[in-house]
Structure formats: C-alpha cells, structure tokens
Amino acid sequence: MLLIPCPWCGPRDEAEFRYGGQAGVAHPQDPWALDDRAWADYLFVRDNPEGWFAERWFHTSGCRRWCHVLRDTVDNRIAASGPATTQAPDPGTGRGGGRADPSSPATAPTTPGRRA
C-alpha cells in the first residue's frame, strides 16, 4: 500500500488517489506538424522504467488536485512530491517538485537513477 505525500494534504493512502501516469508529458505545441509516428508516440508511448519514475497522481478523495511524485517502481519508495504546476521531479537527479516531507530527514536516495 502506497503512502502518497500530497503536497497540500500530507501523506495519504493510495486509495484516495487516481493514477495519472508519467509526469511532464506536454501536449505538442503544433500537433499538425507531427507525422503519424510522432503523433502515435505522443498518444501511446510513455517511459516505463524499472527504477525512479516521475509520475502524476490526482487526489480524488482529498483536495482534488494533481501532484508530481518521484517513486521507485521496484520498491515503491517515494523520494519527492510537489504541485503539478511545478517542474516534474527529475528521475536522474531527484531534484525538483519539492521534498516528500520537509520536516523529516531526507528520504531521497543518495544516488537516484535508473537501476541496472
């Protein structure tokens, strides 16, 4: 069971959230400039890492706002979260999006990054 640190409500059970997949996927500025393959990539292809993943969650049963979460898809550790209006956390550096819980010691791993 995930304990997801909502930036506004604090740590809450995953059952309060809906999942939004990869964070930071921007709608193409000019969709008409994309060929079919590029458009299909935008629609259907997302990162699927075994390791740190910047993703979006919607706090359905709470504040009803979107947030970014940096989570390890192998062991479900969560290193950071922040409002979806901010820069998504970087799976390579773990920076951005704010700390999961500023009052506790850093839970971020010392060397976030992809697992071999």
Residue ranges binding another protein (CB under 8 A): 1-2, 13-15, 18-19, 21, 36-37, 39-41, 43-50, 53, 55, 71, 73-76, 116
C-beta closer to another protein: residue 48 or 102: 48
Quote the least distance from Cβ 32 to another protein, whole Å: 16
C-beta closer to another protein: residue 38 or 106: 38
Q: Which two tokens stand for residue 31?
A: 């969709």
Q: Give the distance, in angstroms, between the CA of residue 111 and the centroid of all CA atoms in the same chain.
A: 18
Quote the least distance from Cβ 103 to another protein, whole Å: 26
Half-sphere exposure of 40 (CA within 13 A, CB side): 3
- How many Å is the maximal CA-CA distance in the chain? 48
Q: Which two tokens stand for residue 60?
A: 């359905």
